[in-house]
Amino acid sequence: METDEKILQAIQNTYVLRPPQQKLSTFGSTNVYYYMITELMQEVNIVREGHVIAARPRIVTPYYLINVEGFSGAARRYVQMMAEQSPHEPGILYSYKNETTETNIISQSLPDIVDKINQRIDSQSNPLSAVIKGVEELWDVSLMKFTFELTRNSLRQNINEFYASGRLRSDEQGVPTDAIENIEELFGIVRRDPSRAPELVSELHRWGLWSQYQDRFLRLFRKH
């Protein structure tokens, strides 16, 4: 309970002082450069710089999620319950990676630090930069709150663009068009780079398509 209270306090005391000027890309990855400012003591702040890299959003279904590893038992049961009700209901899956590149302790007030960072961002003209005021003890929670808000603010645009492109449509097996196109892309990648083959195999199994694509997959490795 104490940990939950600390997390809640961190969330309540996290503020996005400068949000990115662009939303998450629907059909590609997005690289947001962030400046995370946390107070160490009065007039002494820590500034962390890094990247939040958002992979291209993917359309998935409860059936697909059941076959993804990494869920706890309770989480897997929840997905199974969803799948029992609507196994092919499409949703959007976002995945992220954080890369911290630099950490500095600066003996200046928060307003002065923010002003200098804003000047730097303006000079670089990077629409995918963000400034966040976080909590030192749980700065990564502050970063997660920022990431959640970025996702929420991008969701409507992503859904509209997926819908307009036809990628939300599903075939008779309940597999979204987006998933089929992703599989085709993976076939092209594996043809050039065989080391990516396990990724393609996993994707086919998660959609229940291995038997349908098995012969085509094996032909990639037959010697002529």
For position 224, what pLDDT does the model report?
47
> What SS3 state is found at 100?
strand
What's the pLDDT tens digit per position in 109-152?
A: 999 999 999 999 999 999 999 999 999 999 999 999 999 999 99
What is the percent of the chain where pLDDT is above 90? 75
- Asked whether the beta carbons of 190 and 200 are under 8 A apart, the reply is yes
> What SS3 state is found at 72?
coil
What's the pLDDT tens digit per position in 20-72?
A: 999 999 999 999 999 999 999 888 999 999 999 999 999 998 888 887 766 67
How far, in Å, CA of 51 to CA of 126, rounded?
13
